[in-house]
Structures are given as C-alpha cells and as structure tokens.
Amino acid sequence: MKRSLTAFLALLMTAFWGSHAHAQQVEGIAALVNDYPITTVDVRNRMRLIIVSSGIQPTEEALVRIQQEALRSLIDETLQIQEALEYEIQVDPAEIDAAIANIAVQNNADPDQIAAELAASGVDIITLRRQLEAEIAWQIIVGGRYNNRIRISNQQIEATLERVAASASQPQYRLAEIFIEIPVSSSEAEAQQRTVAVMTQLTQGAPFQAVAQQFSDAPSAANGGEVGWLLEGQMRPEVAQVARALEPGQLSRPFRVPGGLMIIALIDQRESSASIQYDLVQATLPASRVNDASVAAFDRAISRINSCDGIDSGISAVEGAFSSRLGQISLNALLPEIAERLSSLGPGENTGAIETPAGRQVYFVCDRSIGGPGVPTREDIERQLRNQQLSMLSRRWLRDLRRDSTIEIR
C-alpha cells in the first residue's frame, strides 16, 4: 500500500473517468452478468484496489489495462458468487476477516492499517471483502465438487519421484509465478496483452508479490505467487528450462505453458544436499562355496525373489548362502559399480549377482527414498499433483460458466 500514490491516483482517475461520460454516472452499468449489474462504481473501486495493492504506476495507458482487468475480475467473481448461491454456500464473515488478517501479516501490518490505507486511497474495505468472499466461496465449491473425484495413482507419484530422484543432485530453486490463462473460448492475443501489461508493470518496479495477487490465475496468487523450494523434477520441463537460465533476483520473460502464459521470478537458489537413500538387503554366496552348480542355483534363486520378505526363504536351498540387512545407505556412499546398478532400481528389484572378493553378492532394494532439505515426501507430491488437477478443473469450470452465462458488457 502506498499513500504517496493517493493524490496522483485521484488526479489520474478523475481525468480518466472524466473522459468517459458513461463512467461518470454513479448509477452507470458497466456489465450485466445473468442480469446482475456490475456498476461503473464497482469497476472504479476495483481499479483503485488493484493500483493500491499492486503498486502499479497509474499512467493513463496503464489505467486502460487496469480497467479491463478490473471488469474481467468482477465478471468472474460474480459468476463464482452466483454459482456459490446455487450450492447454498454462505461465506462466514469470520473467514473474510481471517483472510484480511493474513494479508496484513504479509504486509507487516494489522487489519486496521490495511483498512486505513485503502480508505486513504479512496477504496472502501467492502471492495476487498467482496473479492475475498468470491475467492473463498469458489474454493469451497470447487473443493466440494472435485476433491472426492480426484484420484492420484501410485504410478503418478512414482513417476514424479523418479524425476525428483534424477534431479536430486542438481540445484534447488525458490520460485514465484504469475500464470495468465488462455481461455479456450477466447483468442491468445487477449492473454498476451494481459501478460505484456503485467510484464510492463514488473519492469517498472511493481512488487512481484502484489502483482501476482491481483493478476495471476494460478492458486499461488493467494501467496503472492510464491511456490517455495523446488527440485527440477518437480517442475514442468519448460519451467525448469527457464529457471536454470535465471540468477537469484531475476525475472523471466513470458513463456508458454499448458493452458496459458507464465512469468517466473527466481527468489533464491541453493546447491542440493539431497541424496537418494536405499534400504538394502545383501545376499551372499561366500567365495568358499562358489562352484558351477552353486552359482547356477544361486542365480536361479535370486531371479525368483521379488521382495525383501522372500529373500531368506528364496536362498535357503543354496548351501552356504546367507543374507545381511544393510539398512539405509546413501547412493553416493556405495562403491561405483554397485551404485551404478542400483541407480535405476525400485523396491523389490535387485542388482543381479556381482563378483567380489567375498564371493557372489546381490543387493535387493527394499525401499528407495530421497532425503535432505527441500526434498518432497510422497505426501507432498500427492498434494502437489492433487492441487494441479484441482486448479485445472477450477479453470475449466469457470470457463464453462463464462460460456453458458449471459454476459453483456456496456
């Protein structure tokens, strides 16, 4: 919030709206959404909120873009609230209070300061409360509609874990994002114009966090666009490629991702201390017992074993063979020959027999995990995949509402 903008904002807004006679009418209608009016007063108040909360420099050219963004947001929020009413969802004012308190914490302020700074810039706190009410209502109905329908399979989690494991030794990135959706029902040009406007404000010094909160279509907008620390294996390939080219503090140019355009900021970067951990059992045919017959019997036995629970019974018929539980061992602590064979194995698999001075030895993988700061657990990955699907379904639902509704822009 910038009090120094108040006088300049008031002057520019007066000039801008003064040049639009229709917008001067207190009772003017900017749009009708299923016969529900969005007034020019609503649009003007939302424009002020966007400018004050994002730190955008309110030039006359920027005001044109901000007007479009304000109207677009109000239309979407009206659709969201109308849908919430269809489901008889009522947002408790206490939830809105909590959301404002969270905004205050992010800005090192308290709720009264937020209200006072908005008022000083000509923005009624009701404008912010309405925006938050729509966000909360939409989260409730989207969660209620889709949460039980989303199924994250073990295969999806394992595939992500494999990508994470492959990038475990690579740097970790702390990112923030702004995602601009390209709706199926509209042209890409509109999204590109929105992205250019956002990029212009960022390059002119508007805070990334504040701009993301007002303009990003991603769920991370509520956190100022921040998505936290990520390994490359957790990112989309196109995001990882862009992140690798950035230095901490740098901003990317817009680039395409599925469903829209993205801008990322690299907040920080650190060397990974993550490592792949294996829970291993070693089966050994001692050198003193090695002969053609025992080697053949040993090889046949291990080929039939598909879990650590079956190792002892599986090698029991091979005279002299025994097993040893090695427990958790880091991949980089193993001999290169063993590490190379293990690197592509998952639970239940084994390295095959390796000739060593001790005899013929086989390493069985009981479990495989990645340890270290910033490394996601299976639960973290499942939550990330679930949120990605929920976000996609949310955008698709809102797109369908726009298509099926009667929206008249005056």
With respect to residue 246, please indicate whether it lies within any of the assigned structural domains.
Answer: yes
Asked if residue 376 is part of any domain, the answer here is no
Q: How many domains does the chain have?
A: 3
Looking at the structure, tell me whether residues 137 and 19 fall in a common domain: yes
Residue 2, pLDDT score: 37
In a domain, 378, yes or no: no
The separation between CA 378 and the C-alpha centre of its own chain, rounded to angstroms, equals: 16
Note whether 107 and 135 are within 8 A (CB).
Answer: no
Dist. CA 380–CA 146, nearest whole Å? 19
* Rounded Cα gap, residues 221 and 213, in angstroms: 5
Residue 350 DSSP class: B
Residue 326 belongs to a domain with what CATH number? Answer: 3.10.50.40
Q: Per-residue pLDDT tens for 151-192? A: 999 889 888 877 877 777 788 899 999 999 987 766 688 888
pLDDT of residue 179: 95
Q: Is 293 found in the same domain as 257?
A: no
| 101 and 240 both lie in a single domain | no
Tell me how far apart the terminal alpha carbons of the chain are, to the nearest angstrom: 31
Do 329 and 396 lie in one domain? The reply is no
Spatial distance between the Cα atoms of 43 and 31, rounded to a whole number of angstroms: 10
Q: Residue 64 domain-assigned?
A: yes
pLDDT at 375: 74
Which residues of the chain have a pLDDT value below 50?
Answer: 1-26
Does a structural domain hold residue 10? yes
301 and 254 inside one domain: no
Asked whether residue 127 is assigned to any structural domain, the reply reads: yes
pLDDT at 325: 93
Tokens (6 digits) for 318 = 């091979």
Domain end position, chosen among 122, 146, 170:
146
Q: Does a structural domain hold residue 63?
A: yes
**Residue at a domain's end among 146, 172, 194:** 146
pLDDT of residue 373: 67
Residues 53 and 97 in one domain: yes
Report pLDDT for 131. 92
Looking at the fold, whether 159 and 263 belong to one and the same domain comes out as: yes
The answer to whether residues 69 and 140 belong to one domain is: yes
Segments forming the whole domain that contains residue 119: 5-146
Q: Are residues 260 and 316 in the same domain?
A: no
pLDDT in tens, 341-358: 887 788 889 999 999 889
The answer to the question of residue 379 being in a domain is no
Which tokens sit at 256? 């395409």
**CATH number of domain containing 73:** 1.10.4030.10
Domain co-membership, 9 together with 139: yes
- E strands in 258-347: 260-270, 275-286, 322-330
- Are 171 and 256 members of one domain? yes
Task: From residue 348, give the alpha-carbon distance in Å to each of 205, 267, 333.
Answer: 54, 40, 21
User: What's the pLDDT at 366?
Assistant: 93
* Four-point Cα dihedral 69, 75, 80, 81, nearest 10: 120
Which pLDDT score is estimated for 34?
95
Residue 28 DSSP label: -
Amino acid at 199: M
Q: Do the beta carbons of residue 24 and residue 17 sit within 8 Å?
A: yes
The span from the CA of 23 to the CA of 72, in Å, is 16
Q: Are residues 21 and 128 in the same domain?
A: yes
Phi, psi of 355 (to 5 degrees): -80, 125
What pLDDT does 377 receive?
81
Pairing status of strand 322-330 against strand 226-230: unpaired
